[in-house]
Amino acid sequence: MMQFKSQLEKTTSEAIRELYNQEITQLEFQATRKDFEGDITLVIFPLLRTIKGNPVVIGEAIGAYLAEHLVEISAYNVVKGFLNLSFSDQHFLNEFYAIFKQKKYGFVKAEKGCDAVMVEYSSPNTNKPLHLGHIRNNILGYSVANITAAAGKKVYKTQIINDRGIHICKSMLAWQRFGNGETPASTGLKGDKLVGNYYVKFDQEYKKEIANLIAQGYDEKDAKAKAPILFDAQKMLQDWEAGDPETVALWEKMNAWVYAGFEKTYADLGVDFDINYYESKTYLLGKNIVEEGLSKGVFFKKDDGSVWIDLSDEGLDEKIVLRADGTSVYITQDIGTAIQRVKDFPDVNSIIYTVGNEQDYHFKVLFLILKKLGYAWADHLYHLSYGMVELPSGKMKSREGTVVDADDLLVEMTETARSIAEELGKLEGYSAAQKNELYRVIGLGALKYHILKVDPKKAIMFDPESSIEFNGNTGPFIQYTYARIQSVLRKSKFDIASESVEIQLDPKEKSVLKQLNQFPSTIQLAAEQHSPAIIANYLYELVKEYNSFYQSVPIIATENAKEKTFRLQLSYKVAEVISSACELLGIEVPERM
């Protein structure tokens, strides 16, 4: 399609040159609206800046020229300032057979030696298990990495694990005091859940101590600051930073439990990483960079010894990068980590940070600082800012144990898929193991599609049951269409080696073909905008068009052998594109359903 569009643009420019003696190379083509006849539309209005006259007359003249000079144009019509062009059946067939046997149609291979993109997502804390918010983060970042790779980039998938700090010490202290030596093995709990329970336990004990202090006459602010358990957690952090062997050993043991728990959740969710970074190894990074920045005048030092950057010229304010006592803040380690990543992977020229929109300001500051420090790659940093996942019951709070646990949600999605599928009663002949695997695939696909079909910047109100509907803009509807096509291909004993045919196309077939042709440009657009929603909604439109074709046009039942061959070929390619698009979203497609 791209090759013909280039020819169409060239011939249109020739028409304008011959008809009006004008040189115009910037032409606006768009898909023809469904309520008009045509396949592609030339917008005439922008031409009126150069060509004076009636837009309808101009459109008619250009249309006639194109119909005469391009065999691919079978008809044209003009509606006000829009020239609608219709393609011949032969053009559609030529386009289709050009892509029919392409493997990974729409995907572009990264060129050898090309610049790489690093995509960061997940970035969990090791004091609690992953929750619903992490699920959106993970499937969004993972999908953006897939789409970026499909668009022709080399991609590294990474996370930074926040494995140090006061919040980690709170879990450690609570386990030390109240755990009685229990372990994941002794309790049967995943390690991240066990540690998360003690984060909640710390908060409960902390609140008790605050209440006791208030009863003794302290005001609430002083009570929160003087609670002994908080003091002990702060002391534990100091011991960790000082390298106290006992504290470090406890930290290593409990973090190992959590890492094992995370790996299980990631595997169940279907995401992975090429490299992990750990805050315990990066929190000191950036301090030397600040010293270099001071000498270059990028930063300035205040009287108390703290170091700042003034971003008022950029519409922001002053931002601290080093405390008076010489300790770093989050922005400092983020500066150092970004620089370290490019040192570790010299081909990286762009980093995409998948982080919630509450950190918008932080990343504006980070990117500006890196630019001012003179790093050329800082011009290619992107904050994939996304809205929160909201629940009917309100916001989640980890320290109070009111989060929607990621593992529990995955189980719930599988069980919801089970109950709906059993109601439909279409699983005759499936073994128990096959049924369980299908429920998992449907449940996880429903969850991912429900989240990814929404623009990343928008908040989501998550409802598990509505996401598993088998009709409408849902994952199961997409999966069911794929399984339906596989059933058709099995019944017909379709052979991929079948030869090309020439037939008169049904309008429903043309609609499907037009949608197929848009897949490569859709991948590129989704990569440019870092938006899996573009892929998801393309997929829904493709599936709708195919189902409309399936309901209206006989496939196996047609008596015309050439029609049967073409319709099976078309079905095969649609299924392949459904599978490819789902792969970009991290969704599996079942062969039967």
pLDDT digits (tens, 9 = 90+) for 141-175: 999 999 999 999 999 999 999 999 999 999 999 99
125 within some domain: no
pLDDT above 70 covers a percentage of the chain that reads 97
Q: Which of 221, 256, 273 is the last residue of a domain?
A: 273
Mean pLDDT of 29-55: 93
pLDDT at 400 over 70: no
Determine phi and psi for 498, rounding to 5 degrees.
Answer: -60, 145
420 within some domain: yes
pLDDT at 190 over 90: yes
352-388 tens-digit pLDDT: 999 999 999 999 999 999 999 999 999 999 999 999 8
Residue 401 has a pLDDT of 46
Provide the domain limits for residue 41.
2-87
CB 553 within 8 A of CB 492: no
pLDDT class of 393 with cuts at 50, 70, 90: low
Q: CATH number for the domain including 461?
A: 1.10.730.10
Residue 398 has a pLDDT of 42
Mean pLDDT of 115-123: 97
Q: How far is it, in rounded angstroms, from Cα 377 to Cα 338?
A: 10
193 within some domain: yes
Residue 593 has a pLDDT of 85
Domain tally, the chain:
3
**Residue 80 and residue 219 in one domain:** no
Mean pLDDT of 314-337: 93
Mean pLDDT of 189-195: 97
- Angle CA 525–527–533, to nearest 5: 75
The tokens 């990569």 sit on which residue? 527
**Residue 71 and residue 173 in one domain:** no
**Residue 427 and residue 543 in one domain:** yes
**Residue 83 and residue 180 in one domain:** no
Q: 261-296 b/e with 16+ CB inside 10 Å = b?
A: bbeebbeebbbebeeebbbbebbebbbebbeebeee
The chain-wide mean pLDDT, for the chain, equals 94
Q: Which of 87, 121, 142 is the last residue of a domain?
A: 87
pLDDT class of 25 with cuts at 50, 70, 90: confident
**Residue 427 and residue 541 in one domain:** yes
Tokens of 336: 């150092």
Residue 397 has a pLDDT of 46
The DSSP result for 41-83, as a single string, is EEE-GGGGGTS-S-HHHHHHHHHHHHHHH-TTEEEEEEETTEE
193-242 tens-digit pLDDT: 999 999 999 999 999 999 999 999 999 999 999 999 999 999 999 999 99
CB 478 within 8 A of CB 445: yes
Determine the distance from the C-alpha atom of residue 262 to the mean position of all C-alpha atoms in its chain, rounded to a whole number.
20
Q: Residue 561, class by beta-carbon neighbours within 10 Å (0-12 exposed, 13-18 middle, 19+ buried)?
A: exposed
pLDDT class of 326 with cuts at 50, 70, 90: confident
**Residue type present at position 100:** F
**Residue 543 and residue 418 in one domain:** yes
572 within some domain: yes
**Residue 183 and residue 78 in one domain:** no
248 within some domain: yes
Q: How far is it, in rounded angstroms, from Cα 268 to Cα 444?
A: 9
State the helix-helix crossing angle for 132-150 and 519-529, rounded to 10 degrees.
Answer: 120
542 within some domain: yes
524 within some domain: yes
220 within some domain: yes
Q: What is the DSSP letter of 311?
A: -
- Angle CA 193–436–452, to nearest 5: 65
Residue 388 has a pLDDT of 86
Best CA proximity match to 572, nearest among 546, 590, 545 = 546
Mean pLDDT of 165-187: 96
452-503 tens-digit pLDDT: 999 999 998 887 778 888 889 999 999 999 999 999 999 999 998 889 999 9
Q: CATH number for the domain including 50?
A: 3.30.1360.70
SS3 state at 555? coil
Sequence-distant (6+) residues with CB within 8 A of 41 are 29, 30, 31, 32, 33, 82, 83, 84, 85
The tokens 């534990």 sit on which residue? 236
**Residue 169 and residue 49 in one domain:** no
Q: How far is it, in rounded angstroms, from Cα 321 to Cα 301?
A: 10
Residue 461 has a pLDDT of 84
Residue 21 has a pLDDT of 94
Q: How far is it, in rounded angstroms, from Cα 520 to Cα 535?
A: 10
CB 79 within 8 A of CB 122: no
Q: Give the strand order in the sheet containing 116-120.
A: 275-278, 154-161, 116-120, 348-356, 381-386
pLDDT class of 392 with cuts at 50, 70, 90: low
Q: Which of 57, 87, 117 is the last residue of a domain?
A: 87
